[in-house]
Amino acid sequence: MKDNKVTVYLAAMGTVLLWGMSYIWSDRLLDLQIPVEFFVPIRILLAGILLWVLNKVMGCDMRIRRQDWGKFLLLAFCEPFIYFVAETYGIKLTESPTITALVIATNPIFAAMAGIFIFREKIDWLNILGIFITLGGLVLVTWARTSTGPYFVLGIIILFIAVISEVSHISLTKVLSGGYAPSVIVMYQFLFGAVMFLPQFFTLGLRDFDASLYLGWDVMYPTLALAILCSATAFSLWAYAIKHLGVARSSIFLAVVPLATALLSVLFGDERLCWMQWVGLGVAMVGLLLTQKAAKTVPGSDSKTA
- pLDDT of residue 43 exceeding 70, the answer is yes
Q: Residue 221 has what pLDDT?
A: 95
Q: Is the pLDDT of residue 158 over 60?
A: yes
* Residue 306 domain flag: no
Residue type, 16: V
Report the number of distinct structural domains present in the chain: 1
Q: What is the pLDDT, as a whole number, of residue 1?
A: 43
The answer to whether residue 98 sits within a structural domain is yes
- pLDDT tens-place string over residues 7-25: 888 898 899 889 888 988 9
Instruction: Establish if 303 belongs to a structural domain.
Output: no
Domain hosting residue 59, numbered range: 5-292
Dihedrals phi, psi of 297, to nearest 5 degrees: -105, 140
Quick check: is 305 in a domain? no
In a domain, 297, yes or no: no
303 pLDDT exceeds 50? no
Question: Which of 241, 254, 234, 251 is CA-nearest to residue 189?
Answer: 234
Q: What is the mean pLDDT of the chain?
A: 82
Q: Is 297 helix (H, G, I), strand (E, B) or coil?
A: strand
- Reported confidence tier of residue 301, pLDDT bands at 50, 70, 90: very low
Residue 70 has pLDDT above 90, yes or no: yes
d(CA 81, CA 302): 30
Q: What is residue 41's predicted lDDT score, i.e. its pLDDT? A: 94
Taking residues 135-141, report their average pLDDT: 71
Residue 299: inside a domain, yes or no?
no
- Give the C-alpha separation, 285 to 292, whole Å: 11
Beta strand extents in the chain (DSSP E only): none
Is residue 287 assigned to a domain?
A: yes
Give the rounded distance of the alpha carbon of 266 from its chain centre. 21
Q: Residue-wise over 260-280: b if at least 16 C-beta within 10 A, else e? A: bbbebbeeeebbebeeebbeb
Q: What pLDDT, in 10s, does the model give residues 219-259?
A: 999 999 999 999 999 999 988 988 887 776 677 677 677 77
- The pLDDT confidence band at residue 286, using thresholds 50, 70 and 90, is confident
pLDDT at position 304, please? 35
Q: Which pLDDT does position 144 carry in this prediction?
A: 63
Q: What is the pTM of this model?
A: 0.74
Q: Is residue 304 part of a domain?
A: no
Determine what percent of the chain is predicted with pLDDT higher than 90.
39
**Taking the CB of residue 7, how many other CB atoms lie within 10 A of it?**
13
